[in-house]
Amino acid sequence: MPDWLFDLLFWVGIVVLLGLYVSWRATRLDRLHARADSARAALDAALVRRAAVALEMAASRLLDPATSLVLATAAHEARTADAEGREFAESDLSRALRAVVDQPDFRGTLADRHDGAVLLEELDAAAQKVAFARRFHNDAASGTRIARRRLLIRLLPLAGRAPLPEFFEFDDVPPKV
């Protein structure tokens, strides 16, 4: 075998391995973006569910009118907020839920009423799902951001025109159980 053929095969092999590596990194980055997108969708669904449970609790006639109004207003604001004000509206809903549910003997009083215990269980589950979904979303956004900072990703535009995932920061502390 001539030396030039060996050199040619060597460089073709290097180019193929380099192409496989770049393809693997691009596929990984694509999967990270998909994971961040699905985590965001799960977070949105959890936030909508929590607001729906809060509205259901406000409309249940189990609360006094002033408390129902505060809770309904916060839930409505959270559901209708635009992208820029959503974090603030969700934080307001979290604070309103804590202000309502963390009142002394609120859980005991509501649990004694018709369907009150069921509403409290739904609210607790929805609040926990929101906390988990926010954590998963922010972890996915962080992983994607870290991957996009790598030199190869920046030199070769492997991210394409995909927007950089944003963190979703708000007060998600659930009411005390």
Task: Outline where 59-150 has alpha helix (H).
Answer: 65-80, 86-101, 106-112, 116-148
Contact 130, 172 (CB under 8 A): yes
Task: Evaluate if residue 136 carries a pLDDT over 90.
Answer: yes
Q: What is the pLDDT of residues 61-114, one digit of tens each?
A: 888 899 899 999 999 999 999 989 999 999 999 999 999 888 888 888 887 887
Structure-token match 């505060």, residue found: 70
The counts of H helices and E strands in the chain are 6, 0
Angle, helices 116-148 vs 3-58, to 10°: value is: 160
Whole-angstrom distance, CA of residue 128 vs CA of residue 175: 9
Q: What band does 167 get if pLDDT is binned at 50, 70 and 90?
A: very high
Greatest C-alpha distance within the chain: 92
Q: What is the pLDDT of residues 1-48, one digit of tens each?
A: 788 888 899 999 999 999 999 999 999 999 999 999 999 999 999 999
Whole-angstrom distance, CA of residue 72 vs CA of residue 30: 40
Q: Which DSSP state fits 159? A: T
Whole-angstrom distance, CA of residue 170 vs CA of residue 83: 13
Quickly count: other Cβ atoms within 10 Å of residue 74's Cβ. 25
Q: What is the pLDDT of residues 36-46, one digit of tens each?
A: 999 999 999 99
Whole-angstrom distance, CA of residue 50 vs CA of residue 78: 10
Contact 159, 153 (CB under 8 A): yes
